[in-house]
Amino acid sequence: MSETTNLRPDRAAWLKGPAASCSMKPEVLARPWRLVLLGAPGVGKGTQAELLGSRLKACQLSTGDVFRAAKGLKECERSPAMTAALGYMSRGELVPDTTVLAMIQERTSCLTCGGGFLLDGFPRTVTQAEALQGILKEKGIKLDGVLDYRLPLEEIVSRLSGRRTCAGCKAVYHVTGRPSKVAGVCDQCGGKLVQREDDRAEAVRVRMAAYQQSTSPLTAFYEKLGLLITIEATGTPEEIFLRTVDVLQARI
Ligand code: AMP
């Protein structure tokens, strides 16, 4: 497993769709990692995906990031399906499988990329997981594993309600756990720190219920396939990261 590097591909083909090409393509690796990351909102899955992306040189493919990128577009620049998807998202509900799968179908080049991938936030339902297995089979690609990050509910609620995101560069902070040097201001770009619409208490409750209902059955799905790797998500992001790397080293 190679050392951590700060150079990150811009993920243009993922965030903007197949018409865009990535300015810095990931290198074609002899051992590309192809992983799915699971975990309830707030377990720190996105942070782990970023840390793993630097270490494994694989792109973090977050479906939530695609929706957030579309939010920045004018309504006439988005498809009607994408505009409808943003409505589900702002209420904390899951976007319908058909919309999510159409979006993934447009981006399969990111799944076949020689740098591997870290799927973050997809699949979220068994229907999506079955569709992903179908796409990968068709492309002759196998998943290396599914990392399932686990954390007690009270800790999840505290993490989410204190989370702040930079409106500019999207860096993530926590009002007590990982504060910025100046309250409300991003250390990295000076941008304004905001609370994500779906981190508000009301939306968090809906998201947790959606997770329990739709996403928990995924663990059973992947356990049956022998792909599930459970990781305790307590401690600092670095501790969780080292725990993850240890597990992956053992699978090489
Ligand atoms: P995330 O950043 O992964 O927490 O995603 C933010 C929101 O985007 C979710 O609460 C959903 O509304 C929507 N979303 C992202 N990925 C999916 C998915 N795979 N299936 C359904 N909805 C999704």
Please give the share of the chain, as a percent, with pLDDT higher than 70: 96
- pLDDT of 18 strictly over 90: no
User: DSSP alpha helices (H): ranges in 57-200?
Assistant: 63-71, 80-90, 97-105, 108-111, 126-139, 153-161
Residue 214 near ligand 1, beta carbon < 6 Å: no
Q: Residue 28 has what pLDDT?
A: 77
Query: Could you tell which of 95, 107, 199 is best to mutate to test the pocket of ligand 1, judged by most ligand atoms within 8 Å of the CB?
Result: 95
Q: Residue 133 has what pLDDT?
A: 97
Q: Respond yes or no: is residue 8 known to be catalytic.
A: no
173 strand-pairing partners: 164
- Give the tens place of pLDDT for each residue, 71-112: 888 888 888 888 889 999 888 888 999 999 999 999 999 999
Cα separation, 37 vs 218, whole angstroms: 11
Q: Respond yes or no: is residue 251 known to be catalytic.
A: no
| Three-class DSSP category at 143 | coil
Out of 55, 124, 159, 164, the active site residue is 124
Cα separation, 32 vs 45, whole angstroms: 20
Least confident of 13-17, 44-48, 126-130, 203-207: 203-207
Q: Where do you find CATH 3.40.50.300 in the chain? A: 12-151+216-249
- Give the tens place of pLDDT for each residue, 127-184: 999 999 999 999 999 999 999 999 887 788 788 888 999 998 888 898 988 899 999 9
Rounded to two decimals, the pTM is 0.83
Q: Which fold would CATH assign to domain 12-151+216-249?
A: Rossmann fold (3.40.50)
Indicate which residue's Cα is closest to atom 8 of ligand 1: 64
Tokens of 98: 């058909």
248 CA from centroid of ligand 1 (Å):
26
DSSP characters over 17-52: -TTS--SSPPP--SS--EEEEEE-TTSSHHHHHHHH
Torsion of CA 9, 128, 201, 236, to 10 degrees: -50
